[in-house]
Amino acid sequence: MSKRIAICPGSFDPITNGHLDIIERAAAIFDEVIVAVLENSSKAPLFDVEERLTLIRDVTTHLPNVTADAFGGLLVEYAAKREAATIVRGLRAVSDFEYELQIASINKKLNEDVETLFMMTNSQYSFLSSSIVKEVAKYGASVNELVPQQVEAALRRKYETSRQP
């Protein structure tokens, strides 16, 4: 049987414990999981793509079937190129649902062989997003329980540098 490969796409600016929870759960189900960082997103990122990939790799070393990669263009084309038949997305609040339904529907139209699978957030992370983490870290508060320790250190470095006169 061919390998079951899943893609966890997103901005990961930066990766949080909420992301990691979804990645770990996907890694327990699929043979291979590719964490795919979207390039050229319209959002102005805090971390560049290489920094985001390095952080993802640093915090997934305990998951041998997880790799990180960057992609541009259409996700379904990237999925086909990587021979991944499944896109895994996390769902937090109801507010995620409408947007995710739109994206999943258009992706299905573009390539009906690629399935989108949703995983409910772990309730402990239902409020957690990269934006919240950046907001908290920017004002010097602790993000200790929200992100892995390597990410906390990277955020500290980023904001310390930006606070230099």
In the complex, least distance from residue 106 CB atom to ligand ADP, rounded to whole angstroms: 14
Question: Is-contact 13 47, C-beta < 8 A?
Answer: yes
User: Is the Cβ of residue 34 or residue 128 nearer to ligand ADP in the bound state?
Assistant: 128
What CA–CA distances, in Å, run from 97 to 48, 49, 63, 145, 151? 28, 26, 28, 26, 27
Closest CB to ligand ADP among 135 and 165? 135
156 is catalytic: no
| Shortest CB 41 distance to ligand ADP, Å | 7
* Residue 61, token pair as written in the block: 């070393």
Catalytic residue of the set 4, 43, 81, 157: 43
Q: Which is nearer to ligand ADP, 34 or 165 (CB)?
A: 34
Q: Which stretches of the chain bind ligand ADP, using CB under 6 A?
A: 10-12, 16, 18-19, 22, 89-90, 92, 96, 121, 125, 128-130
CA 92 to CA 131: how far, in whole Å?
14
Least distance (Å) between residue 139 CB and ligand ADP: 20
Question: To 10 degrees, the CA torsion angle through 148, 151, 155, 161?
Answer: 140
19 counts as catalytic: yes
Residues 36 and 57: beta-carbon distance below 8 Å: no
Active site residues: 19, 43, 92, 130
